[in-house]
Amino acid sequence: MSESAPRFSRATSFALVTLAYVLALAAAVGVSRSMGWAVPWKVVLFADLAATLVVFAFSRALDNSSVYDPYWSVIPPVVALSIPMCTPSAAPSLRVYLVIALVSFWGARLTYNWAKGWTGLDHEDWRYVDLRKKTGPFYWVVSLLGLHSMPTVTVYLGMLPLLFALGTGSRPLGVLDFVAAAVTLGFTVVEMVADEQLRAFRRENTEKNITGAIMDRGLWSYCRHPNYLGEIGFWWGVYLFGLASDPSAWWTGVGALWITVMFATISIPMIDKRSVTRRPQYAEHMKRLGALIPNPFAK
């Protein structure tokens, strides 16, 4: 965030971000109502993009791209709740309730994790700060296309199985649904535990004024990024629900696949590169532990 940007209290920051998302939701509802529900994938896409533009407008006005940060976890539960309401042929079923409950739990947990650690509009993600320095006057174009639109499209692709699991899919509840539930819930818990362990580690280091320490406790002693492993696993669980509801939905795995590739080739290398420069022993840590695949013998 630029040094000349206005500073807000944490309470005011939350109020402004909440307003941004309320207006974003209103824009999405307006778009979906104007389009009808004849082509669900198209309606969700354009409603999603409309909401993104509203959030981007707030990011630009407040000079802080981190206004967009909670979008990833806020939108999927909203879409999950909307699909059964907008699909005339969809009848309430155990699968519908199960999927909505799991997606809502994941979204609420991840949003809470963001809110708990967010200090307000005086903070902007370090990746955005670095990008701002590199792109200069073109930053907000890059922010719109790369920091706002690309994650929106990524989450949209991840949500495609929901159109089958909560809408047009008619296959009766089966074994694959319970496998999907176990995968979705299990990896959500993995992400939750990993986030809490990391928060406790950072708090302890801050209290003891320790710098350069490497997190290698709990789940973090088996792989370098168990929180990302949990996030990736969640989306594969969502995909399995789509597949369980309709075998023709096999192609919707493109979302979970892209999310996996994105974390493995973009997010993780970026964080590892930064950690190597900030923590002298991190290069050795990378040799000992894999990024995502747990090593049960690492301890």
154 falls within a domain: no
pTM of the model: 0.93
Q: Are residues 24 and 120 in the same domain?
A: yes
58 falls within a domain: yes
DSSP tag of 172: P
Q: Are residues 285 and 191 in the same domain?
A: yes
Q: Are residues 5 and 100 in the same domain?
A: yes
Q: Are residues 195 and 94 in the same domain?
A: no
Q: Are residues 190 and 116 in the same domain?
A: no
Domain count, the chain: 2
Tens digits of pLDDT across the chain (299 residues): 544 445 788 999 999 999 999 999 999 999 999 998 888 999 999 999 999 999 999 999 999 999 999 999 999 999 999 998 887 766 678 999 999 999 999 999 999 999 998 999 999 999 999 999 999 999 999 999 999 999 999 999 999 999 999 988 778 899 999 999 999 999 999 999 999 999 999 999 888 777 788 999 999 999 999 999 999 999 999 999 999 999 999 999 999 999 999 999 999 999 999 999 988 899 999 999 999 999 887 76
pLDDT of res. 5: 47
153 falls within a domain: no
Q: Are residues 90 and 200 in the same domain?
A: no
pLDDT of res. 146: 95
pLDDT of res. 2: 46
DSSP tag of 224: S
Q: Are residues 83 and 178 in the same domain?
A: no
* Contact predicate 262/196, CB 8 Å: no
The rounded distance, in Å, linking the Cα atoms of 175 and 173 is 7
* Contact predicate 157/254, CB 8 Å: yes
Q: Are residues 30 and 125 in the same domain?
A: yes
123 falls within a domain: yes
Q: CB atoms < 10 A from the CB of 7, how many?
A: 10
pLDDT of res. 295: 83
Q: Are residues 112 and 187 in the same domain?
A: no
71 falls within a domain: yes
155 falls within a domain: no
* Residue that finishes a domain, picked among 80, 114, 137: 137
110 falls within a domain: yes
Q: Are residues 207 and 128 in the same domain?
A: no
pLDDT of res. 268: 96
pLDDT of res. 89: 66
Q: Are residues 177 and 295 in the same domain?
A: yes
Q: Are residues 115 and 220 in the same domain?
A: no
pLDDT of res. 91: 66
165 falls within a domain: no
Residue 267: domain span: 171-299
Determine phi and psi for 144, rounding to 5 degrees.
Answer: -65, -45
* Contact predicate 23/50, CB 8 Å: no
User: Burial code of 166-204, b = ≥16 C-beta within 10 A, e = fewer?
Assistant: bbbbebeeeeebeebbebbbebbbbbbebbebbeebeee
